[in-house]
Each structure stands twice: as structure tokens, then as C-alpha cells.
Amino acid sequence: MKQKFLLMVLSFILFSVTSNSFAEKYYGEFCWQVFSESGEPYWRYQLGIYEKEGGHLALYGAIDYEANGKSASHGNAINVGDSIKLTLVSADREEGVEVWAETLAAKLDQSTLNGTWDALTLEIFDGEDFTEVIYQRGTIDLIACQ
């Protein structure tokens, strides 16, 4: 009987610890408009933001290039002083056209969630034997999600 009681208490403790280790807080969906250095609108992100245990921020959602439609995007963010450093990765296969993958790094102001960004994109076009590498940068602004 004593062993069963001990096993039950131990199971309860382990269940409690396991449940807490996967704790997270959902902040909701956030959207950003990405602009070129000259101010031309490029693409938009729509991302759900989760704070994981330890203060890590995970982002899951989509990148929208409008004409090419939406593609999956995910990333993470950390607080550094009065800034948020954000990294997002997106990729897609556009049938009969290309495969592309992009990594964007942004530094956002904590009070406005606006900032600057730099991105590296790799594109492989169907029927071609080379990969195009594109470097871009500009500004990124928080917008209302539609």
C-alpha cells in the first residue's frame, strides 16, 4: 500500500512538472509590412506569437507576396535592451517556376515594433542550372492584420 501511495504522489509530481515545462503564452496575431530601402512595399507577414518558457518568443504564420500568394514562415525573437531581434525563415515551391528560400533578420523597437531588416534569398528557377542569391534590406512596420 505504501508503494502505491508513493507511486501515486511521484506520478502527480512528474505530471505537474511536465505540464509546466510546456507552458506558453499566446500574444495573438501580429502583421508587418516590409518595405524596400526606397519605401516601396514588398511583402507582408502574418504571425502568431507565443512566449515559451524562459522568455523565448516563437513565431508561426505566413508571408504574403500578393501576386504569388501566401507561403509558410516561422521564426523566433529575443529581447535585447530596448530592441527585439527577430529572425524569420520562409520557403516555397511555386509550381513550374521556382523554388525559393529566404532568411530575414530584423531589429525592432520594443515600443513601436517597427524597425529595419536585411534578407538573403536563394532562388532556383526550373530548367536552369544555377541558384540566384539576392540580398535586400529596408524597413518593416507593424500594421493591422486583415
Name the more confident of 9 and 47.
47
pLDDT in tens, 70-118: 999 999 999 999 999 999 999 998 876 789 999 999 999 999 999 999 9
Predicted model pTM: 0.80
The neighbouring-strand residues paired with 63 are: 45, 71
| Complete domains list, the chain, with CATH | 24-143 (2.40.128)
Residue 110 to residues 40, 73, 79, 87, 114: CA-CA distances in angstroms?
24, 22, 8, 15, 8
CB 56 within 8 A of CB 76: yes
Only one residue has cell 504571425, namely: 47
